[in-house]
């Protein structure tokens, strides 16, 4: 399909619609086992210099939305530190790094669990030392697991979800603040679940509501304290990433419940992060951009 045809296409038909094939993956999942393959903008994203010279951290940057954001940031001129969890994601992380380097930018990989405050500090320290500074922090990594009832949720899973999704965000923002100059940007990934929570994702949806509040509150704190740092969020709807088949057993109809009747692709979310990180959004703070396939977030 040519870019001209895609620009004039009905968005409901722009990407594959469910049903998707049943597939078994272990969390957090890998791109190589995802079917159909996701679009991260590998062939389509074209930069225009919006982030030239910027230094960015992206947690969960190895795959899914994180990979799409890394590709877009690099093509806009940013160097990127890609944070990811463990050995199972090594190949995905290396692939993302190759796309960043192909765009002529520096890529740094750092592996480890952001539940650990010391590791969060090491992510920030690595960006400052290896990229030469920090201008953009994208808090994107998340954990979820679908459960059909309250009694099925293990207590340790509840704690892991909160520690990964919201506590780590606090660790990273706190460690990053001294290095972020006026004009810098923090972008958090919340979710349509903050507005319309899934009954199978109680811990995850609760953290996404917390992220929404954290984003709005931190934005006020940093601006009113004269830091000149903008804090915003992106609220994706159902986006087709390895996390989905690895955490949601009934994923064949994923995305069917949107007005577009399909899942979104990572490539469709990344431009929202570029916008919020760029000077185009210089008067936007404490805001959330929904990328939900038409699902309402009011």
pLDDT (tens digit per residue) in 116-175? 999 999 999 999 999 999 999 999 999 999 999 999 999 999 999 999 999 999 999 999
CATH number at residue 259: 3.40.50.720
Q: In terms of pLDDT, which residue wins out, 218 or 7? A: 218
CA separation for the pair 79, 105 (Å, rounded): 5
Contact 248, 200 (CB under 8 A): yes
Give the HSE-up count for residue 245: Cα atoms under 13 Å, Cβ half-sphere.
23
Q: Give the contacts of 124 (CB within 8 A, at least 6 positions apart).
A: 57, 134, 172, 175, 176, 179
Q: Which of 138, 141, 132, 72 is nearest to 108 (CA)?
A: 132
The pLDDT of residue 6 is: 64
Residue 144 resides in a domain: yes
Structural domain total, the chain: 1
In Å, how far from its chain's centre is CA 147? 22
Residue 149 resides in a domain: yes
Residue 1 confidence (pLDDT) above 60: no
Residue 217 resides in a domain: yes
**If you average pLDDT over residues 251-280, what whole number do you get?**
96
Q: Find residue 289's DSSP bridge partners.
A: 234
Q: Is 88 left (phi over 0), alpha (psi -120 to 50) or beta?
A: alpha
Residue 150 resides in a domain: yes
In Å, how far from its chain's centre is CA 222? 22
Q: Give the contacts of 239 (CB within 8 A, at least 6 positions apart).
A: 64, 65, 263, 264, 265, 266, 268, 269, 291
Catalytic residues: 204
Instruction: Give the helix ranges, DSSP H, for 81-154.
Output: 90-102, 117-126
The phi and psi torsions of 137 (rounded to 5 degrees) equal -115, 115
Whole-model pTM over 0.85: yes
Contact 81, 22 (CB under 8 A): no
Residue 24 confidence (pLDDT) above 90: no
In Å, how far from its chain's centre is CA 130? 22
Q: What is the pLDDT of residues 30-73, one digit of tens each?
A: 998 999 999 999 999 999 999 999 999 999 999 999 999 999 99
Residue 287 resides in a domain: yes
Residue 22 resides in a domain: no
**CA distances (Å), 29 to each of 109, 169, 174, in order?**
18, 22, 29
User: What domain range is 88 assigned to?
Assistant: 41-291
Residue 298 resides in a domain: no
Q: Give the contacts of 133 (CB within 8 A, at least 6 positions apart).
A: 55, 127, 179
Residue 187 resides in a domain: yes
Q: Give the contacts of 69 (CB within 8 A, at least 6 positions apart).
A: 58, 61, 138, 140, 269, 270, 273, 274
Q: What is the pLDDT of residues 61-110, one digit of tens each?
A: 999 999 999 999 999 999 999 999 999 999 999 999 999 999 999 999 99
The pLDDT of residue 9 is: 86
Contact 185, 280 (CB under 8 A): no
């Amino acid at each position: 399909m040519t870019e001209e045809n895609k620009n004039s296409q009905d968005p409901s038909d722009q990407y594959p619609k469910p049903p998707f094939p049943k597939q078994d993956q272990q969390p957090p999942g890998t791109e190589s086992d995802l079917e159909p393959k996701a679009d991260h903008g590998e062939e389509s994203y074209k930069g225009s210099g919006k982030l030239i010279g910027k230094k960015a951290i992206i947690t969960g940057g190895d795959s899914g939305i994180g990979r799409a954001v890394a590709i877009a940031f690099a093509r806009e001129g940013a160097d990127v530190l890609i944070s990811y969890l463990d050995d199972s994601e090594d190949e995905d992380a290396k692939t993302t790094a190759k796309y960043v380097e192909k765009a002529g930018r520096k890529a740094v990989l750092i592996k480890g669990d952001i539940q650990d405050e010391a590791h969060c500090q090491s992510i920030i320290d690595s960006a400052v030392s290896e990229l030469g500074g920090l201008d953009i922090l994208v808090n994107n990594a998340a954990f979820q697991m679908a459960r059909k009832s309250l009694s099925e949720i293990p207590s340790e899973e509840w704690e892991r979800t909160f520690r990964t999704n919201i506590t780590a965000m606090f660790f990273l923002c706190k460690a990053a603040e001294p290095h972020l100059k006026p004009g810098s940007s923090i972008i958090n990934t919340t979710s349509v679940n903050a507005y319309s929570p899934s009954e199978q994702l109680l811990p995850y949806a609760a953290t996404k509501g917390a992220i929404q509040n954290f984003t709005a509150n931190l934005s006020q704190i940093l601006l009113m304290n004269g830091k000149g740092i903008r804090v915003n969020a992106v609220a994706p709807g159902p986006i087709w990433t390895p996390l989905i088949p690895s955490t949601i057993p009934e994923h064949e109809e994923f995305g069917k419940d949107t007005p577009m009747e399909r899942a979104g692709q990572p490539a469709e979310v990344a431009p929202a992060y570029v916008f919020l990180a760029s000077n185009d959004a210089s008067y936007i703070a404490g805001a959330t951009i929904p990328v939900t396939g038409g699902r309402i977030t009011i």
